[in-house]
A and B are shown apart, each in its own frame.
Chain A
Amino acid sequence: MSDVDPPVVLIVEDEPDVAETYKLWLQDEYEVRMAKNGDEGLEMLDASVDVVLLDRMMPGLSGDEVLERIGERALGCRVAMVTAVEPDFDILEMGFDAYLSKPIRSQQLHDTVSNLLERSEYDSMLQEYYALVEKQATLEATKSSAELAESDEYDALTEDIAEMRDGLSETLGGIEDDSDFIATLRGLSADEE
C-alpha cells in the first residue's frame, strides 16, 4: 500500500442500485471496481485487488462458488461475504474473512474494509518478522557466541526483531477475536500452497 495508490475494493453484486450505494460510500478512500455477477467478478479479479465484497445470493455463479474459486487462485485478497439474512451456519468454518448482513450501513462497510486491510498488513508484517528471525537463526547457527557479541549486524537484527514483535502486537491488537485468528491461520495455509 503506497500513498499514491489507494487500496482496491471489488464489489460483486447483481443489484445495480445496491452496488452503486456501496461505491458511493467507498470511493473517496478506495479505488472501487464493480462486477455484476460471479463470472465477471472472477474475470476482474487479479493481484491488485485487496478486498472483495461478495454478494452471496446471485443468479448464475453463487457467492459460495465464487469464493471457492478465489480460494483456488490463492491471490491473497480478503473476502467479505454479503448475506441477505444473519447467517445461521458456523461462520468460522466458511472460507471468507468477514460477513455483512443486509441492509448494510455505511459505517459498517467502512469498518469491515479497513479491518480486512489491517489484517493483510498483519500478514505481511508476520512474513517480514519471520524473514528476520530466520536470518538471526542462521547467524546463531554459523557463528560462535563471541563472534555474535562483536557483530553489529547481529545487534541491529536483534533490535529489528524486538521492534517488529511490538508492531505485530499493536496491529489488530495482536489477534483480537476469533474471526481474526481463523482468518490469519487461513492466510498461512494459503501462503504455503
Chain B
Amino acid sequence: MYDLSSVLDFEELRDVRPGSSILLSGPAMSGKQRLAYDILTDGARDGEGAVVVSTNDSARNIAQVFQDEVPELSDSQLGVVDCRGEGGVDADALDGTFVHQVSSPGDLTGIGIGITKAIEGLHNAGRTRGRLALVSLSTMLTYTDKKTVFKFCHVLSSRLDTADYIGVFTIDSGAHDSQTLQVIKQAFDGLIEVREAEAGGREARVLGLANEPTAWKQL
C-alpha cells in the first residue's frame, strides 16, 4: 500500500492500493504540479522510485526540486520523460537522473518507451515500488484528442498496475469542457480535486477511492 496522507491529510489516502491511478484536478495556478511532485518526493524519501512525465518543466528543474526536497536522493532513483520536444540535455548536470527525450506531448509511443525505460532502470536498481507523475494531461489534450488521451491513460494505468506503481496525473479543470473532464475521469481509480478556498488558501477533497466524496479540507 502507498500512504499519501502525509502529503494530503485524508484518511482515504492512507492505504492506496498499488496499481492505482489518480487524477489531480484543479484550476490553473492551484499548485497541482507541486502537489504531484510532493507525492513523489515523499515516496522517494522512503527509497521509492520516481518517474516524472513532463510536458512543461525541464528535466533539470525537476531534478533540482527532487534534490532539494530529498537530500538523500540517490542515483537511479529518478526518471524524467521530457516531452517538451526541445531536445538537448546536459547529462553531466543531471547525475544519477535518467532522462528520456520525446519529440512532443502528442508522441504517445515515445512517451510509453520513455516510461518503460525509466521503470526498467529503477527496477534494475532494486526499486520495486515507485510513483509516477504526469504533468499535465491538459497540455497533451492540446496535441491530441480526448479519445486518444483517454485510451492512453487507461493503457498506462494498466502498465502501472503491472509494475505495482501508483500514478498521479494532473489536469487543469478550467481548460476543458465538462464532457471532456467527465470522460478523462473515467480512466482513473480516484480523483483529488483542488480549489481556491473562499476564506483564502486552497482546499482539496478526494473522490472515488471511498464510496462517498470526502468533505473539502483546507490544505
User: Which residues 132-168 in B have Cβ within 8 Å of A in the complex?
Assistant: 144-145, 147-148, 150-152, 154-155, 158-159, 161-162
- Which interface residue of B116, B144, B145 has the most chain A CB atoms within 10 A? B116
Report the stretch among A4-12, A37-45, A104-112, A126-134 that lies at the interface: A126-134
Task: For residue A57, give the distance in angstroms from its CB to the closest CB of chain B.
Answer: 25
Q: Which of B148, B150, B159, B182 contacts A192 (CB 8 A)?
A: B148
Q: Which residues of A contact B67 (CB under 8 A)?
A: none
Contact B147–A134 (Cβ < 8 Å)? yes
Q: Does B61 contact A (CB under 8 A)?
A: no
| CB-based contact B155/A175 at 8 Å | yes
Contact call B179/A141, Cβ cutoff below 8 A: yes
- Checking B113, B120, B154 against A126 with a beta-carbon cut-off of 8 angstroms, the contacting residue is B154
Judged by a CB distance under 8 angstroms, whether A138 is at the interface is yes
Residue among A138, A176, A186 making CB contact with B109, cutoff 8 Å: A186
A184 within 8 A of B: yes
**A144, CB-defined interface residue at 8 Å:** no
Q: Cβ of B147: which chain A residues have Cβ within 8 Å of it?
A: 130, 134
Selected contact of A188 from candidates B113, B152, B186, CB within 8 Å:
B152
With contacts A93-B113, A188-B151, A189-B108 taken as known, whether A133 is within 8 angstroms of B158 at the C-beta atoms is no
What CA separation (Å) do A113 and B115 show in the bound complex?
26
1/0 per residue B93-108: CB within 8 Å of A? 0000000000000011
What is the CB-to-nearest-CB distance from A189 to chain B, in angstroms, rounded to a whole number? 5
* Given A161-B186, A178-B120, A92-B145 contact (CB < 8 Å): no
Q: Closest B-chain residue to A169, C-beta based? A: B158
> Which chain B positions have C-beta within 8 A of A130?
147, 150-151
Chain B contact residues (Cβ within 8 angstroms of A): what range? 20 to 34
Interface size on A (CB < 8 Å)? 30
A181 touching B179, Cβ below 8 Å: no
Least CB distance, A142 to chain B, in whole angstroms: 9
Does A47 have its Cβ within 8 Å of any Cβ on chain B? no
Whether A182 contacts B145 by the Cβ 8 Å rule is no
Most central of A138, A178, A185 by chain B CB within 10 Å: A185
Which residues does chain B contribute within 8 Å of A185, judged by CB atoms? 108-109, 111-112, 152, 155
The minimal Cβ–Cβ distance linking A163 to chain B, given in whole angstroms, is 14
Which single member of A92, A127, A137, A178 contacts B182 (CB below 8 Å)?
A137
Query: Any chain A CB within 8 A of the CB of B178?
Result: yes
A182–B186 touching, CB < 8 Å: no
23 contacts between A and B (CB under 8 A): A92-B116, A126-B154, A130-B147, A130-B151, A133-B183, A133-B186, A134-B147, A134-B183, A137-B182, A141-B179, A161-B186, A175-B158, A175-B161, A175-B162, A176-B162, A178-B120, A181-B155, A185-B109, A185-B112, A188-B152, A188-B155, A189-B107, A189-B109
Residues of chain B whose beta carbon lies under 8 Å from any beta carbon of chain A:
107-109, 111-113, 116-117, 120, 144-145, 147-148, 150-152, 154-155, 158-159, 161-162, 177-179, 182-183, 186
Q: Which residues of A contact B (CB under 8 A)?
A: 92-93, 126-127, 129-130, 133-134, 136-138, 140-141, 161, 168-169, 174-178, 181-182, 184-186, 188-189, 191-192
- Other 18 A-B pairs with CB < 8 A, given A92-B116, A182-B109: A126-B151, A127-B151, A129-B154, A130-B150, A133-B183, A134-B183, A161-B186, A168-B154, A168-B158, A175-B159, A177-B162, A178-B116, A182-B112, A185-B109, A188-B151, A188-B152, A189-B107, A189-B108
